[in-house]
Amino acid sequence: MNRRILQLAVPNIISNVTVPLLGAVDLALMGHLDNKVYIGAVALGSMIFNFIYWGFGFLRMSTSGFVAQEFGRRNFAQVMINLARPLTLAFSAGLLLIILQFPVSSIAFWLVDSGQEVETYARQYFHIRIYAAPATIALYALTGWFIGMQNTRIPMIIAVCVNMANIILSLVFVRWLGMHSEGVALGTLLAQYTGLLLALFLLHRYYGRFFRFYDGRIFWNSLALSRFFSVNRDIFIRTLCLIAALSFFTAKSASMGDTLLAVNSLLLQFFMFFSYLVDGYAHAAEALTGRFTGSGNSGALRTAVRYLFAWGGGIAVLFTIVYLLWAEAILGLMTSNPEVLSASEPYLFWIVLIPIISFSAFIWDGIFIGATASVQMRNSMLISTVLIYFPVYYLSLPFLGNNSLWLALILFLFSRGVSLGLMAPGAILKKKA
């Protein structure tokens, strides 16, 4: 079981690590410019796209669960249908976002309280990067399909190529061509379409033989479509809550001034780096849970759950030690602004707590996704967001100031792990595969 987990997790870890690395490089590029507003502009622009694109993260998650289960059953006709459906939705949604970009940006910046200069550069960033929408959303669907097919190496290749291209292009546009936040947006735009072309090429190269199983007549099967939209609806609500919590974090940071916005944006990268790494094991959980659920192997499923938690806990301990010893040094690599560095010191202890507090939420997420237990995922996130995150922030704000944001985030992550753990016996471990 360890070998299976590592074969799935390690490529995911490699690909996932490039994502926060990209975010760190983008902020570092802005952090070394002569005006701190560029940090805030990229942070706000990225927050808006996180809200938009992560909202479509249900395509990756539901696709991996559906495909893994059908792969476990060796039902290749449904395997191909579960590629066609999310890709159709992805391209349609991407084109719609481009058409509606101006009302979307108006609403987004109306909701976010930030300085005028930061907003100006963030808007510029937004109206360049929005043209990557079809490619970005389609890559979610393709990634989920590859994971469901028990192949995490292809998503690794795609992610590494996309993010390395993004970093190189951003460096070229910012360092050598003298651009600012718009250079980072342009780098992202070009990199996303490069990734889409690569993904389609690899799909045809390694899975072209499965195309013969595609049967368009079952695309519109009413029961299957109902199940598809039901699971996607629940995961969408779950994802929307997560995005709302993280976006709220950045929006409230912006309302506290440009300095605290820069501080919280940089410190949040520590959470993102850990989350993307431990998510490698969550993706392995999706593939294994879906496959064992589809094949009816409940014994292997229980074994996989135990081993996955052992690996996730080990990663959490490692990151706790690294952050405890070297948080200041890592932060120094991300910005040379003395005001931001000084203002960050009182909040460094929060990032030390994040790995141990949050790892179980990530592992359970992967397990529930693989089993397509979407109702429980939705309910857990609603509890953690509505009953924990927002009440904790507003109740502690008068006493803790910026610390209230970090306290709310920590308890939000803890609540997710606990609530999913309490739901697992009935939803996953005792469920007939």
| pLDDT at site 103 | 94
Q: Alpha-carbon distance 174 to 61, whole Å?
A: 34
Tally of CB atoms within 10 A around 222: 7
∠ CA 67-70-72, nearest 5°, is 110
Cβ atoms of 46 and 187 closer than 8 Å: no
Give me the amino acid identity at 382.
L
113 vs 399, higher pLDDT: 399
Question: What are the tokens at 263?
Answer: 């501080």
- pLDDT by residue (tens digit) across 36-83? 677 777 778 877 887 788 778 888 899 999 999 999 888 999 999 999
User: What is the pLDDT averaged over residues 381-410?
Assistant: 95
327 vs 412, higher pLDDT: 412
Q: Alpha-carbon distance 108 to 49, whole Å?
A: 10
pLDDT band of residue 433 (cuts 50, 70, 90) is: very low
Q: Alpha-carbon distance 163 to 25, whole Å?
A: 10
Q: Which position has the token pair 């960033």?
A: 125
| pLDDT at site 31 | 62
pLDDT band of residue 23 (cuts 50, 70, 90) is: low
Highest mean pLDDT: which range of 121-130, 291-300, 416-425? 416-425
Q: Which position has the token pair 């759950």?
A: 305
Cβ atoms of 287 and 147 closer than 8 Å: yes
| Global pTM exceeds 0.85 | no
Q: How far is CA 277 from CA 90, 272, 319, 355, in A?
A: 26, 9, 10, 11
Q: Alpha-carbon distance 39 to 29, whole Å?
A: 9
Q: Alpha-carbon distance 198 to 192, whole Å?
A: 10
- pLDDT by residue (tens digit) across 132-180? 999 999 999 999 999 999 998 999 999 889 988 988 888 888 878 877 7
Would you list the DSSP string of 256-320? T-HHHHHHHHHHHHHHHHHHHHHHHHHHHHHHHHHHHHHHT-HHHHHHHHHHHHHHHHHHHHHHH
Angle at which helices 258-295 and 2-31 cross, to 10°: 160
Question: What are the tokens at 132?
Answer: 């990557």
The mean predicted confidence, pLDDT, of the chain is 87
Highest mean pLDDT: which range of 217-231, 241-255, 382-396, 415-429? 382-396
Q: Read off φ and ψ for residue 430, nearest 5 degrees.
A: -105, 5
pLDDT band of residue 285 (cuts 50, 70, 90) is: very high
| pLDDT at site 22 | 61
Cβ atoms of 326 and 273 closer than 8 Å: no
User: What is the pLDDT averaged over residues 407-411?
Assistant: 96
| Phi-psi group of 187: left, alpha or beta (phi > 0 → left; psi -120 to 50 → alpha; rest → beta) | alpha
- pLDDT by residue (tens digit) across 5-19? 888 888 888 876 666
Instruction: Please state the domain extents for the chain.
Output: 2-429
Cβ atoms of 104 and 136 closer than 8 Å: no
Q: Alpha-carbon distance 425 to 431, whole Å?
A: 8
| pLDDT at site 339 | 84
User: What is the pLDDT averaged over residues 254-270?
Assistant: 86
| pLDDT at site 13 | 82
Q: Read off φ and ψ for residue 118, nearest 5 degrees.
A: -60, -45
Question: What are the tokens at 417?
Answer: 């792990």
User: Of the ranges 175-179, 192-196, 378-382, 414-418, which one carries the lowest mean pLDDT score?
Assistant: 175-179
359 vs 185, higher pLDDT: 359
pLDDT above 60 (res 20)? no
CA dihedral 272, 150, 238, 405 (to 10 degrees): -10
pLDDT band of residue 432 (cuts 50, 70, 90) is: very low
What is the 3-class SS of 194-258, one letter each residue?
HHHHHHHHHHHHHHHHHHHHCCHHHCCCHHHHHHHHHHHHHHHHHHHHHHHHHHHHHHHHHHCCH
